[in-house]
Structure 1
Amino acid sequence: MIEMVLMSLALAVRIRKIEARTLIAEMEAKEKENLQHLLRMISHDISNPLSIIKSATYIARRSEADARPQISRVEKAAQSIEGIIQQVRKYDAVRSGKISLTLSPVSLRKALDDIPFYFSERAERKEITLTCESLDDDIWVFADEIALTHEVLNNLVSNAIKFTRLGGRVKVSAGALGDQAWIRVEDNGIGIPKSLLPQIFHASYPTTRQGTSDESGSGFGMPLVKTFVEKFGGDISIMSRDIAEKDDDGQEPRDHGTIITVRLKRSATASA
């Protein structure tokens, strides 16, 4: 009887080990697949600015005209590549825990008040009305102040401006309900195609698009935003209507654009 029990225990241990090895193998295979997706996307995103650099240098070498326009194209393409590399590094650092975040009460009033300083000039260049609702009563949330301001909000507002046409509108607002606070960035831009919406927060899928004024992007902005928000213990949701979706009358939809809402844990006071 004891021998049977011992044999059963030994068999159970072996099964557990096999299951563990299988799980590890599956995780490694999934990680490998994600890495392959990531590399394909990076290769795709970098190939465009590299093509610009090659064509610009080719034209500059064979032309007797002023080379400054071609040099400007090279500089812009190089900046695009640099931006992609920086976003990839930051995304990897956040996911792997290499970046240490200090969660403490952060003022949403201050975060929203800083947005015009960073984006008013960009909005003016596209004649976009940028509105940031000022909070009469401040709301405090648990977050890392630098990451919330420079990674989350800056990425969301930057995208809103990027995908809004000349003369459009971008609005940033915030509020609180119970023990949660929310930040909302909405625009009447071109929206996001339905085919991209399920993948918009996944770095391993190519979602990069040109802006309405041919602005470039890295494709890592939204995955980075989601990663930071989840590190804060919050969540993010998105609603969008693609301008390419025609209404029944064949016209552009009146409600085209995107609304992104970030929900964070609320802190009662600055010293909580």
Structure 2
Amino acid sequence: MGRSIQGKLVVVYLLLIVFSLELIGAYFVRSLNNSLMQSETRTVESQAQLIATMAAPHMNQAKHPGQSVTPILASLPQLVNGTAYILDRQGVVVATSVGQALIGQKRIDSIVTQAIVSHRTTAAIRVDPLSDQHLLQVAVPIDEQGKFVGIVEYVVPVQTIYDTVRQVTTIFYTVSLVALVLTAILTMILSRTITRPVVDVTEQARRMASGDLTQRLAVQSDDEFGALANAINHLADHWASAVAENEQEQERLQAIIKYMGDGVVVLDATLRPVLFNDAALRLFRDPDGDWMDPAQLGLSRETLGASPEGTYIRSVGDALLHVHVTAIRSEGSVDGYVALIRDVTEQERLNQAQRDFVANVSHELRTPLTSIKSYIEVLRERSDMDEGTRQQFLAVIDQETERMVRLTRDLLQLSGLSRTRPGGYRRGVVDVKAWLIAAIDRFQLQAEAQSVAIELDLLDAGTMPGDRDMLDRVLDNLLSNALKYTPAGGRIVLSARVKRNVLEVRVADTGVGIPPEDLPHVFERFYRVDKARSRRKGGSGLGLALVREITELHGGDIRLESRVDGGTTVILTFPLQEDWS
């Protein structure tokens, strides 16, 4: 019975009743006791206050105040149920209602001490150890014209109150026990009535689980249990058709879950999309939010009719999509299709970038190697070549060799910057002013030879964290480019400013500038604005790519502003606090 619903209902109801009775009983008994004690305390305090008022004028008499206040106690017949003491300000008894034996003794009760110290009325209940009776003690201060002159202590037995409360408690719990027994009997009868429909529904559910859908429940009421029986009967009516539909839906759901990593579209036999995931929504909708024609992905009745499964590569807008189609078969016929769509645009872009990189490196190396080979063959075949021509050929070979060395060095440094964390470099504190001045000094002679002025514009530069050697390489590349493309009579300005804890370095020239269509690509490896002219000047197309890598390695940023025949400005920003990532 304890594990059945009926047993649990009985236990729950009984626990609720017991808890309620205990709570009510405790509150009732406590409230009754407090009410009786408060009433008795107020009565005793009023009597003690009356005595204090009557005794106050006599407490300042010179030697024997007790002789004056003793008649006051004798004149109060209401004190027959208690004992009154009149004490001076030191707690010594000067008069009492129980005879003269205690006069002159000092009272050491705690409430007397509290009243003497605080000059306030105090009350407490204690148990007399001799009679085992509860006593109520009240101490009231005696004031005469605002001056504390003594204490009235009034002791009253209150055992009858405790006896009354105990009797009431016994009666209450006796009645509660009888009510608990009757509640248990009624709960068992009621719970049996409630649980009977539950047992019937459980039995019907077991029959349905075993495949028997022929039985129906008898509806005997129009309450919640009757509604439950109707729902079970309705469920049995629709179970058979739901099983077949659920199997088909489960097959579709499994297909979607299987291909959840990419865009998934489930198509019916007419190629109409019926199910799709979020990735498919991003890949397979046009800008207006409508579904695109499946034919754009290579899906048509003709192609799928010839081969229900296949893989297609299609370009849709700016995206390159890899589409894999699988047929959904039901009872030997094709009921629909699942299209797995993968966006391979980024992958193809990376592959193309790798192919372009290899082609560029090959091209850059092939040109100087071809030139070197040609000059070496000429030197080998013409032993009678004059010394001037021979030195000219050797100078060309040296120039082309140096070009390959620079290309190889730039490639190695770029590769190292891509693989290595900042911890692999020498961190230090760079004096910005000294850094900029040293860069100008390195290019001053070359600038004078080209009749180009280099100027320094410096304001509040201070210091910054960084690798001085790598930062020198940044300015060398930028100043070298500025000198290459600034004609005679031009000007290059190297400036530095501190803005909001960020150092901004600018390299501005008055050169030929860069066309707008080339600006988005200038930081790409091997990219040249004027390829023929760049090669003549010894450029590899890696300088700005190297500058960007080093700047970002220092936690900074780089951008470029330029217009044709209007000069170029490269803007570098570096954090002044070390936070390389």
| Offset of residue 53 of structure 1 | 1.9
| Structure 1 position 257 matched with structure 2 position 570 | no
| Structure 1 position 146 matched with structure 2 position 469 | yes
Post-superposition CA distance 1:123-176 (Å, at most 9, x none): 2221221222345x43233433221122x1111111111212233221111111
| Counterpart residue number, 2:516 | 194
| Counterpart residue number, 2:166 | none
| Structure 1 position 42 matched with structure 2 position 361 | yes
| Structure 1 position 226 matched with structure 2 position 548 | yes
* Mean Cα deviation higher: 188-197 or 68-77: 188-197
Aligned with residue 77 of structure 1, among 400, 416, 419: 400
What residue identity is the alignment partner of 1:16?
Answer: G
User: SS in structure 2 opposite 1:117?
Assistant: helix
d(CA) in 2 for partners of 1:211, 1:123: 19
| Counterpart residue number, 1:52 | 371
| Counterpart residue number, 1:106 | 430
Counterparts of residues 60-139 of structure 1 (less than 5 Å) = 60=379, 61-62=381-382, 64-66=385-387, 67-97=390-420, 100-101=424-425, 104-135=428-459, 137-139=460-462
For the pair shown, the structure with the greater C-alpha radius of gyration is 2
User: SS in structure 1 opposite 2:410?
Assistant: helix
Does the 8 Å CA contact 2:526/2:542 hold for their aligned counterparts? no
Give structure 2 stretches of 5+ with no counterpart.
1-248, 264-278, 280-341
d(CA) in 1 for partners of 2:254, 2:465: 47
d(CA) in 1 for partners of 2:399, 2:443: 20
Report the TM-score, using the length of structure 1 for normalisation: 0.77
Does the 8 Å CA contact 1:183/1:263 hold for their aligned counterparts? yes
Aligned residue pairs, count: 253
d(CA) in 2 for partners of 1:110, 1:92: 29
d(CA) in 2 for partners of 1:11, 1:214: 59
How much is the aligned-residue C-alpha RMSD, in angstroms? 3.5
More strand by share: 2
Does the 8 Å CA contact 2:461/2:496 hold for their aligned counterparts? no
Report the TM-score, using the length of structure 2 for normalisation: 0.39
d(CA) in 1 for partners of 2:533, 2:446: 13
What residue identity is the alignment partner of 1:64?
Answer: M
Counterparts of residues 261-272 of structure 1 (less than 5 Å) = 261-267=571-577
User: SS in structure 2 opposite 1:262?
Assistant: strand
d(CA) in 2 for partners of 1:98, 1:116: 30
Go from structure 1 to structure 2 and tell me whether the alpha carbon gap of 1:212 and 1:232 turns closer, same or farther (over 3 Å shift). closer
| Offset of residue 118 of structure 1 | 1.7
| Counterpart residue number, 1:15 | 260
What residue identity is the alignment partner of 2:260?
Answer: I
The runs of 4+ residues in structure 1 deviating greater than 6 Å are 7-11
d(CA) in 1 for partners of 2:353, 2:545: 13
Give structure 1 stretches of 5+ with no counterpart.
244-255
User: SS in structure 1 opposite 2:481?
Assistant: helix
Percent identity for Structure 1 against Structure 2? 23
Post-superposition CA distance 1:52-85 (Å, at most 9, x none): 3234334433362221110000000110011111
User: SS in structure 2 opposite 1:133?
Assistant: strand
Go from structure 1 to structure 2 and tell me whether the alpha carbon gap of 1:43 and 1:196 turns closer, same or farther (over 3 Å shift). farther
User: SS in structure 2 opposite 1:164?
Assistant: coil
Does the 8 Å CA contact 2:478/2:507 hold for their aligned counterparts? yes
| Structure 1 position 216 matched with structure 2 position 461 | no
